[in-house]
Amino acid sequence: MPSRPRNAAERLRWELSDGLTIGRRYLTHWVAEPGRIVASLVFPGMMVLLFGYVFGSAMVVPGGGDYREFLMPGLFVMTMAMGIATTVTAVTADAARGITDRFRSLPMARSAVVTGRCLADMVNSVVDLVVLIACGLLVGWRWHGSLIDAAAAVGLLLLLRFALVWVGIYLGLILPSPESVAVVLAPVYPLTMISNTFVSPQQLPDWLGAIAAWNPLSSTVSATRQLFGNPGAAGDTSWIAEHATLMAVVWPLVLVVIFVPLAIRRYRGLSD
């Protein structure tokens, strides 16, 4: 049995090494399931076709502009948000099958399971985002700012996903069984819809528009529209809209500050 690290530097290397090992394990399982890979890659394309062409034919962008360019930043955010379902399902399934308990019995860093899960889900999210961007380019979406602005927009999308990964890990650790996942995830889809993903909050009834404007996902959508130079970013003079980029950083960081300690504490306290 390997000896435990004696100082902070050794402990950090130990935790990183074990986290990478667990992350590779999750990614290996993902690669070994080609049907799952195909489904995860086809779904973003179907979303672009469905919302961009079927529903989009009846949509009008406030201030003018192409609806598909208005839509794509919203779909980027929606994909990052819907990824929480993958995280919660995987964590709950591992716990139900006893895999989490077996990991806890091994001489490894206690944080490795949750950090490995986070690493694997972030890699999967990058792949999903690349596929969705490619789909957007195929249907005519373009970014009109600099490469630095575009990279900043991608960074905000991944920051949101990173925060939601930790929310998903915590929820997966507290759920009693895989059957309970559907109940917890039921609000996720309405949360992505009651936002500025598909229409501007200005086009909604006042009370619903206020909810949509203050939806944390809306800040990331607005910020990425601004950074990509896509239509729909201008015209809303509310405080939350004018500070979209700031709030696209603040909301995820608040989630990280809350849920990273909760997830790690919950994992360490399992069966105690």
Q: Across residues 61-88, what is the average pLDDT?
A: 88
CB 142 within 8 A of CB 61: no
Q: What is the pLDDT of residues 139-148, one digit of tens each?
A: 889 998 899 9
DSSP-H helix ranges across 83-228:
84-96, 99-104, 112-138, 147-174, 181-185, 188-193, 206-214, 216-228
Lowest pLDDT segment from 35-49, 93-107, 209-223, 229-243: 35-49
User: Rounded to whole angstroms, how far apart are CA atoms 97 and 178?
Assistant: 10
Choice between 98 and 164, residue whose per-residue pLDDT is larger: 164
Give the whole-number percent of the chain exceeding pLDDT 90: 33
Q: What is the pLDDT of residues 91-130, one digit of tens each?
A: 898 888 887 777 777 777 777 888 888 998 999 899 889 9
User: Rounded to whole angstroms, how far apart are CA atoms 7 and 21?
Assistant: 21
User: Rounded to whole angstroms, how far apart are CA atoms 114 and 202?
Assistant: 40
User: Rounded to whole angstroms, how far apart are CA atoms 77 and 132?
Assistant: 11
pLDDT at 1 over 60: no
Q: What is the pLDDT of residues 45-55, one digit of tens each?
A: 787 888 877 77
Tokens of 202: 């200005």
Residue that has been written with the tokens 């996720």 in this structure: 188
What pLDDT, on the 0 to 100 scale, is given for residue 7?
Answer: 59
User: Rounded to whole angstroms, how far apart are CA atoms 96 and 33?
Assistant: 20
pLDDT at 22 over 90: no
Angle formed by the axes of helices 206-214 and 216-228, to 10°? 70
What pLDDT, on the 0 to 100 scale, is given for residue 18?
Answer: 75
User: Rounded to whole angstroms, how far apart are CA atoms 84 and 18?
Assistant: 23
User: Rounded to whole angstroms, how far apart are CA atoms 208 and 206?
Assistant: 6
